[in-house]
A and B are shown apart, each in its own frame.
Chain A
């Protein structure tokens, strides 16, 4: 496990302009952000604020047009090639022709792990997200929440240090979402991974994160960075405490002020 002082993501004045038919769109402008190893960072903001774009820049799925970004001390593309991160998309995106077990094995096959190690790692990851016993089901036989859990197992199994999650629970109902949030927190505590988590739910961001990044749109930029005063142990009930509500208040205020201008 990396020492707590090392830096997982370091963005300096990152900007990204898309050249569209209607002219330039500034998806990101002057984004400065440092994420330490082992942190749980949430990016929150209205749609179009560039939170997903920023995550894609970290993953080297987009290239910034200005500024500098380092992931684990490397360029994002080097980090991608070093398989430094696991990415969880908005939809589970499981391959329908593969069973849950074989879906989780997919990255391991691509990365050429041996057969036995594949099986062992996949089983461990499936166990970790609580899907033991469902290995031989096909994705359509599982609920949306279970599919998303399988996709998290798929991102975990090759043990990347960073987990990038793009609104993974956005399409799920409140109850399932609560359970998965709890689950994700305990996973994070156990594995010590760095998590960058995109969401547009305030309670979700406050509940999960050690650091909350509030973003605003046109141009996509960071308006506030909040270090959470909450400890690492967080029962669901923590959401009714005054500390929690204060943080939520500040996030809401940040979102509102950015909306006004």
Chain B
């Protein structure tokens, strides 16, 4: 609770700055309209108008908040105008992609740690895979999977997995390698099998690394799912809302979708953070 004051202060500042920027950016349109109809506007009238435009360049905070409220609470969740509906579409692809990506990541890390060939052969490819802009790759994944009859959830989940496996691989390779030589020597003096060393030493030692990489991975998954929704042409999901918003100049809708994505990401990362705290506390590693 001690962090409440600083957080509130920063938020207030950001919101204030946002309002100022809204006035600055939207006033051009207001003044233009006034000039065409030959009306002189007072300063307060200009300020008021910049905050209530239909299609502002930068919607003001309360407009975005209202849109968010309207699209999540007031709409039926089955409605295509409900952000809950679109959020769920994105969330399901995110979760499936995250599951595939982190499983793949952990498996790759296990094989890299236990095999020099995998270490030399796979790691460079894993790194290379992340240098290709996902925006360029996503349409191809969609098209190729579509041609083999896969559409909807699966292609998006695969793009999601593509982004989320990498932080998990990198994190878990460090995690599995984190035990000190002494701890490994100790296992050797017990004549432990590789299997025992893995389960009794490497796995528990890697858990703090696991949670950290899962946090990064799930955020990347969400980005992947949203990007995966763009090439399909605004069917459904938060990505589709963003795309539709930009087609029709609905800036408020874009911002509302952006905020729902951010809130979703915060909830996902927060959930893993909670799992992390509970697990590490039970293992006595929560100092």
Report if B180 contacts A (CB, 8 A): yes
Report if B285 contacts A (CB, 8 A): yes
Report if B284 contacts A (CB, 8 A): yes
Chain A residues lying within 8 Å of B187, measured Cβ to Cβ, are 110
Report if B247 contacts A (CB, 8 A): no
A109 and B200 contact, CB distance less than 8 A: yes
A61 and B188 contact, CB distance less than 8 A: yes
CA distance A87 to B188 in the complex (A): 10
Interface hit among A25-33, A92-100, A190-198: A92-100
> Given that A96-B285, A110-B200 are contacting pairs, would A81 and B183 also be in contact in the complex, using a CB cutoff of 8 Å?
no
Chain A residues lying within 8 Å of B186, measured Cβ to Cβ, are 87, 89, 93
Contact with A along B41-78 (1 / 0, CB 8 A): 00000000000000000000000000000000000000
What's the minimum C-beta distance from B200 to chain A, rounded to whole angstroms?
A: 7
CA distance A107 to B188 in the complex (A): 10
Chain B residues lying within 8 Å of A243, measured Cβ to Cβ, are none
Chain A residues lying within 8 Å of B207, measured Cβ to Cβ, are 97
Interface hit among B189-197, B233-241, B263-271: B189-197
> Given that A109-B200, A110-B196 are contacting pairs, would A83 and B180 also be in contact in the complex, using a CB cutoff of 8 Å?
no
Chain B residues lying within 8 Å of A138, measured Cβ to Cβ, are 284
B190 and A89 contact, CB distance less than 8 A: no
B284 and A110 contact, CB distance less than 8 A: no
Report if B201 contacts A (CB, 8 A): yes
Chain A residues lying within 8 Å of B10, measured Cβ to Cβ, are none
> Given that A61-B185, A89-B185, A138-B284 are contacting pairs, would A111 and B180 also be in contact in the complex, using a CB cutoff of 8 Å?
no
Report if A18 contacts B (CB, 8 A): no
* Residue of B180, B182, B187, B204 contacting most chain A CB atoms (<10 Å): B182
> Given that A97-B284, A97-B285 are contacting pairs, would A80 and B204 also be in contact in the complex, using a CB cutoff of 8 Å?
no
Chain B residues lying within 8 Å of A106, measured Cβ to Cβ, are 190, 200
* Residue of B182, B185, B284 contacting most chain A CB atoms (<10 Å): B284
Report if B116 contacts A (CB, 8 A): no
Q: List the A residue with the shortest CB-CB distance to B280.
A: A97
CA distance A5 to B182 in the complex (A): 33
Chain A stretch 73-119: residues in CB contact (< 8 A) with chain B: 80-81, 83, 85-87, 89-91, 93, 95-99, 106-107, 109-111
Query: Can you give 8 A-B contacts (C-beta < 8 A)?
Result: A81-B191, A87-B185, A95-B201, A95-B205, A97-B283, A106-B200, A107-B190, A111-B191
**A-B complex: 5 closest residue pairs judged by Cβ atoms:** A138-B284, A97-B283, A110-B190, A87-B189, A110-B192
Q: Which residues of B contact A (CB under 8 A)?
A: 180, 182-183, 185-192, 196, 200-201, 204-205, 207, 283-285, 287
Other 18 A-B pairs with CB < 8 A, given A81-B191, A95-B183: A61-B188, A80-B188, A83-B190, A86-B189, A91-B182, A93-B183, A93-B186, A95-B204, A96-B284, A98-B284, A106-B200, A107-B190, A109-B196, A110-B190, A110-B191, A110-B196, A111-B190, A138-B284
